[in-house]
Structure 1
Amino acid sequence: MASNLACIGLDVWRRSDFRDLVASARAEAETIAKDGEVGVHIWTDASGARLIITTEGDLVRVVTPTFYAAPGAIISEPQAVDGGLVLAELVNRDDEVITEIACQLEELALLGSASSPVEGPVSIVVLGNSVQVIGRADDDVPDLSFEPTGAYALSTDATAHLTGIVLAIEQRTVGRTGQGFTAARVQTAGFQVTLCVPAGKPTLTAGDVLEVDGYVVASVPALRA
């Protein structure tokens, strides 16, 4: 099972290496929110690998890995809950609910001051902790699905299980670590996500049908406006 960091080419084993990685990323990061001693900073590598770093004074409190991805869905009325989790609905262009979602949100610190209701384009990144190729789109395709498996199972994990079809793939490499990863655009039930997995784990091609268990991080660009 791949770790969240391995999915974006930032796999480190030793705690000291992780501290060094976060410290160097923090020095290059963009600060998107500041409230007293608490700050939220986003570092984005040229590969698209991204870290959301929450600090309190000089201390790093939370580090969330994700990826810079284009929007592929419409989010409606995201709500922050305990544990830093966000619950929301994804809707279609007719404002009909497609599914519920539990995720981490890059702009969580900006959500409370946003004008209500919050609705608009959202990028959804799934860090593929477990990914299996189960078929090809030109064969019999199972029903596409997306199901949160964390908060709606009475836990506080931003996790989901999905079945989807690979639309396109890009191979990326993080210069700092030399590690490669795959960023795949995936069509699931009524919307698109960007799936990140370590390079070759598994090897993906357009048209593959996937079954995925992963960690979900969203970004709503309009919250930064």
Structure 2
Amino acid sequence: MASNMSCIGITARDPQDFGRRMSLLLERSESAGKWGAHELRVWSDASGASVSFVVSEDGVECATPGFRARSRLQARAARFTSDPDCRFCDPLLVEILDAKGEPFYPLATQLDDLLLTRERVSEGALLELGLCAFARGIEVWTDEAAFLTAQADEEVKFAAESLIPSGLFSPEGEEHPEAAEAFLTGRVLEAGLRENLMTGETFQHAIVRTLGGNYDVLASPRDLGTPLEPGNIIQGEFWLVGRVTSGLTEASRPGMPQRLFRA
């Protein structure tokens, strides 16, 4: 299973190597703004890949991979839920909307600039989101016909464009915090390999159409037999991270970031 970082061309031999890579990215990052005692610093390059660091006087408290999404989805904000391991990774719960403002499905997504935008997301607000789906496990079929054939003997069948907000479900009888995860099946509209200029490693980027709209999909080439092509059908478990590109309110308390992270 690919790591989130490997989906944007950042791999490491061991924890020490990973720490060195993160330190280098932090050195090359730029300040996106401050909130209270914390600062958001962002490394990004021409490939679209980014890593957002939340930094305090105690050091780095959070590092979130991201990507400059081209896709846009319409949503209605519900609330933030809690991440059990990191307060800077609390998922935002939303409803994905159709063109008439009717809900498709609920979803949880992480925001890579949460430090600066949490206080600017109002419950019930209409938002425009740029969402990225980082592949944690992915299967690929040449086209829809091949996908349907592969499902012929399966008890449970999926549409070629479907999405299950898997992060909102838990096994019966078990407590499970909401997570920014989805089981996504979709059609590749555009695809291409990108090079992370810092590491020299490549990663797969694609625009994928599924139920509710388009998502930017990122994957490690190691998880793909061959690069994705338009017309392919993909399916798998994905981690969701993105940014609110429209619909934020003004800061509700002192500490407005000096310079907002550009969409």
Question: Is 2:216 the counterpart of 1:216?
Answer: no
Structure number with the higher strand fraction is 1
The answer to whether the Cα contact below 8 Å between 1:132 and 1:212 also exists between their aligned partners in 2 is yes
Residue deviations 1:22-55, cap 9 Å, x none?
A: 2222233343341232122222122111112112
Aligned to 2:163: 146
Compared with structure 1, are the counterparts of its residues 115 and 4 closer, same or farther at alpha carbon in structure 2 (3 Å cutoff)?
Answer: closer
Task: Give the match for residue 100 of structure 2.
Answer: 94
User: Which residues of 2 match residues 65-80 of structure 1 at below 5 A?
Assistant: 65-80=65-80
Moved more, 179-188 or 151-160: 151-160
Task: Give the whole-Å Cα distance in 2 for the aligned partners of 1:168 and 1:138.
Answer: 19
Counterpart Cα distance in 2 of 1:80 and 1:32: 22
Residue 126 (1) aligns with residue 143 (2)? no
Larger radius of gyration: 2
Q: Give me the identity figure in percent.
A: 25
Q: Give structure 2 stretches of 5+ with no counterpart.
A: 84-89, 149-157, 171-175, 249-259
Measured in 2, the distance between the counterparts of 1:195 and 1:30 equals 25
Q: CA RMSD in A?
A: 2.1
Residue matched to 1:196: 218
Match of 1:53 in 2: 53
**Pair 165,39 (structure 1): closer, same or farther in 2 beyond 3 Å:** same
After superposing the two structures, state which structure 1 stretch, 65-74 or 33-42, moved more: 33-42
Instruction: Flag the 1:23–1:197 CA change in 2: closer, same or farther, 3 A.
Output: same
Q: 1:164 corresponds to which residue?
A: 186
Contact 1:138 1:207 in 2 (8 A): no
- The answer to whether the 8 Å contact 1:71/1:121 transfers is no
Q: How many residues align?
A: 225
Q: Contact (CA 8 Å) 1:50, 1:65: kept in 2 or not?
A: yes
**After superposition, where does 1:10-29 map in structure 2 within 5 Å?**
10-29=10-29
1:115 CA displacement: 5.5
Residues 93, 37 of structure 1: alpha-carbon distance in 2 compared, 3 angstrom cutoff: same
Does the 8 Å contact 2:147/2:233 carry over to 1? no
What is the aligned partner in structure 1 of residue 154 from structure 2? none
Distance 1:156 1:176 in 2: 33
SS at match of 2:120: coil
**Aligned 8 A contact 1:128 1:214 in 2:** yes
Distance 2:131 2:81 in 1: 18
Which residue of 1 is the match for residue 32 of structure 2?
Answer: 32
Report the Cα offset of residue 187 of structure 1: 0.4
TM-score by length of 2: 0.78
Cα distance in structure 2, aligned partners of 1:194 and 1:113: 24
**Residue number in structure 1 paired with 2:81:** 81
Quote the Cα distance in structure 2 between the aligned partners of 1:122 and 1:23. Answer: 29
The residue identity in structure 2 corresponding to 1:102 is A
CA shift digits 1:114-137 (9 cap, x unpaired): 456432321110111111013513
Residue 230 of structure 2 is aligned to residue 206 of structure 1: yes
| SS of residue matched to 1:206 | coil
Q: Secondary structure at the match of 2:169?
A: helix
